[in-house]
Amino acid sequence: MAILVHGFPSGTVSASKIGADLPELADRIGTTMGWQAICPRMRGCGKSEGDFSLAGWVADVDAAVSYALTEFVDSSIWIVGFGTGGAVGLTAATQSERVQGAAVLATPADFVDWANRPDQLIVHSRKVGAIKDPNFPQDRKGWRNELQLVSTVDAARSFSQKPLLVLHGSEDELVPALDARAVADAHAGADLRIINGAGHQLRHDPRALAMLLGWLDRQSQL
């Protein structure tokens, strides 16, 4: 069972559309590997209620894990996250013993840059539709603190006893490849793959998807 976690909306992909292409990947996982896969939409995105917060997204992934454990009782759980989805997915994975492993693609090491510019992030979130309530967040300090507390590096360190794939493009224009190395180093046993010439949108890179599916298939046979 794979839980696919989408990234954060951008100027080119709004909150209403982010993650809309993941069911295609879920179908491919089901067809080629015989796995089940679900694609939750994080709060503020798609038709999901609520407004974006980093801790809220961690809670959403945790809820998806709980759902998977209830509906697919005998399945092992693997989390695959893209961009910000990798960070919140891995953070949620550290909170469940039933999650067997995880893969993070084009994922930042932390959100310090966001935490240093919270007002700009709020403006951006409103622009792309991830924050719809004009009064949200009411607790701006708490909302900002979440950006400091969620760290892919810290989550990778806590996840060190379970398999982790770290995939990144050498030409990622949004998240430097050094972030991927920091995450892999924190885990100490991660399978780090830097794809030469690839950018940030690894979801649409056939090499990245081939590596991801191959890795998941090998892990399932161990």
Mean pLDDT of 67-91: 95
Spatial separation of the C-alpha atoms in residues 13 and 9, rounded to whole Å: 6
Q: Check pLDDT > 90 for residue 12.
A: no
Confidence of residue 37 (pLDDT cuts 50, 70, 90): very high
Question: Which pLDDT score, from 0 to 100, does residue 22 have?
Answer: 97
Residue 205 corresponds to which amino acid?
D
Q: Check pLDDT > 80 for residue 190.
A: yes
Q: Check pLDDT > 80 for residue 153.
A: yes
Look at the pTM and tell me if it is higher than 0.85: yes
Q: Check pLDDT > 90 for residue 220.
A: no
Question: Which pLDDT score, from 0 to 100, does residue 92 have?
Answer: 98
Confidence of residue 49 (pLDDT cuts 50, 70, 90): very high
DSSP, collapsed to helix, strand or coil, labels residue 97 as: coil
Share of the chain above pLDDT 70, in %: 100
Confidence of residue 74 (pLDDT cuts 50, 70, 90): confident
Confidence of residue 73 (pLDDT cuts 50, 70, 90): confident
Spatial separation of the C-alpha atoms in residues 155 and 187, rounded to whole Å: 8
Tokens 């990947």 identify what position? 25
CA 183 to chain centre: 13
Edge-first strand listing for the sheet containing 77-82: 37-38, 2-5, 77-82, 99-105, 164-169, 191-195
Q: Where are the domains of the chain?
A: 2-217
Residues 87-129: tens digit of each pLDDT: 999 999 999 999 999 999 999 999 999 999 999 999 999 999 9
User: Could you tell me the fold of the domain covering 2-217?
Assistant: Rossmann fold (3.40.50)
Q: Check pLDDT > 80 for residue 222.
A: no
Mean pLDDT for all residues in the chain: 96
What is the DSSP code string of 21-43? THHHHHHHHHHHH---EE-PPPT
Q: Check pLDDT > 80 for residue 194.
A: yes
